[in-house]
């Protein structure tokens, strides 16, 4: 089935069908439970594929093929929009959307992605930890990462972002956001607004950005930078953490407990005063609390 120019709808039906939408934004329905092949190349526009096959190992030969002619795997960018997988292999203008790829029906993932230099499968996406990007909008979004590495962008609004098992990057952007790194060595950027960040497991980097933020490192060696505003920084007890502070950061509060004994010197927490010398620092006490001013 060759759509040619225009916004076409191609329906393969039963059998092994080859669908080529041509130029325009096409809808390609190969037919569920039959192996089909979808042809895509530069200039084909933004196509949508609807198909379900068998994901089980004994049906590998029956998986659908998506062929990216004239593109190598290194050219491809994988992103997520809701439950849909979007692949761009020719820059930003052309894309293929596989509907419901990330839903709970794993048979929606029964695809081979064929590039000029190599072919990859769903299993390769997980094993090789390809990066998936998903971005929210101006609404209050809740975005969940997938099994690979994730880059999650909340956009405007009060968003909740959930990382997954690998090394994820979570950007809250504007609004009062809540970010959960979960497993892996994650980077959490709160952005503007009064944000709450949870590194959870792994060695994480937490940047509060502007606003009065609460940063929770969790387990592992975490680096916490509250940014501007009056922030609360909780590195996580009994793990070495590092706190970054500099001029203009406001009045931050650190809550952390570690080992004071000499044999644990290397495990003590660090508080870094960037751009300040020891002679600049003034130490004072308020009740049981230590207060350090190094910037006036």
Ordered mean pLDDT values, 10 residues apiece, the chain (296 residues)? 98 98 98 97 98 92 97 94 94 96 92 97 84 92 90 97 95 98 97 98 98 98 98 97 98 97 93 98 98 97
CA 228 to CA 224: how far, in whole Å?
13
Q: Is 67 left (phi over 0), alpha (psi -120 to 50) or beta?
A: beta
| Predicted local distance difference test score (pLDDT) of residue 129 | 75
| Predicted local distance difference test score (pLDDT) of residue 57 | 85
Question: Could you give the residue ranges of the DSSP H alpha helices within the chain?
Answer: 122-127
CA 70 to chain CA mean position, Å: 28
Predicted TM-score (pTM) of this structure: 0.85
CA 126 to CA 115: how far, in whole Å?
18
Residues near 63 by Cβ (< 8 Å), separated by ≥ 6? 35, 53, 54, 55, 110, 111, 112, 121
Instruction: Report yes or no: 189 and 227 within 8 Å, Cβ to Cβ.
Output: no
Closest CA relative to residue 66, chosen from 97, 42, 40, 90? 40
At residue 142, the 3 state secondary structure works out as: strand
């Amino acid at each position: 089935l060759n759509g040619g120019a225009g916004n076409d709808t191609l329906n393969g039906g039963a059998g092994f069908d080859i669908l080529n939408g041509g130029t325009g934004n096409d809808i390609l329905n190969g037919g569920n439970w039959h192996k089909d092949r979808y042809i895509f190349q530069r200039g084909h526009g933004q196509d949508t594929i609807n198909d379900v096959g068998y994901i089980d190992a004994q049906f590998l030969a029956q998986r659908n093929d998506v062929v990216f002619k004239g593109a190598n795997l290194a050219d491809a960018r994988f992103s997520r929009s809701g439950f849909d997988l979007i692949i761009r292999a020719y820059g930003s203008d052309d894309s293929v959307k596989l509907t419901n790829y990330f839903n709970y029906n794993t048979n929606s993932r029964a695809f081979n992605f064929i590039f000029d230099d190599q072919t990859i499968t769903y299993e390769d996406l997980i094993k090789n930890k390809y990066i998936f990007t998903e971005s929210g909008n101006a609404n209050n979004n809740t975005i969940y990462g997938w099994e690979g590495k994730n880059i999650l962008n909340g956009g405007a609004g009060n968003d909740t972002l959930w990382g997954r098992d690998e090394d994820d990057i979570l950007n809250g952007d504007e609004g009062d956001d809540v970010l959960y790194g979960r497993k892996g060595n994650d980077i959490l950027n709160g952005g503007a607004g009064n944000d709450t960040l949870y590194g959870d497991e792994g060695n994480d980097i937490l940047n509060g950005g502007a606003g009065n933020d609460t940063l929770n490192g969790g387990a592992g060696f975490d680096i916490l930078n509250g940014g501007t505003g009056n922030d609360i920084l909780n590195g996580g007890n009994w793990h070495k953490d590092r706190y970054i502070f500099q001029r203009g950061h406001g009045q931050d509060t650190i809550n952390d407990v570690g080992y004071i004994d000499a044999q644990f010197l290397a495990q003590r927490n660090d508080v870094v005063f960037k751009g300040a010398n020891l002679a600049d620092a003034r130490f004072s006490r308020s009740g049981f609390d230590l207060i350090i001013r190094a910037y006036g």
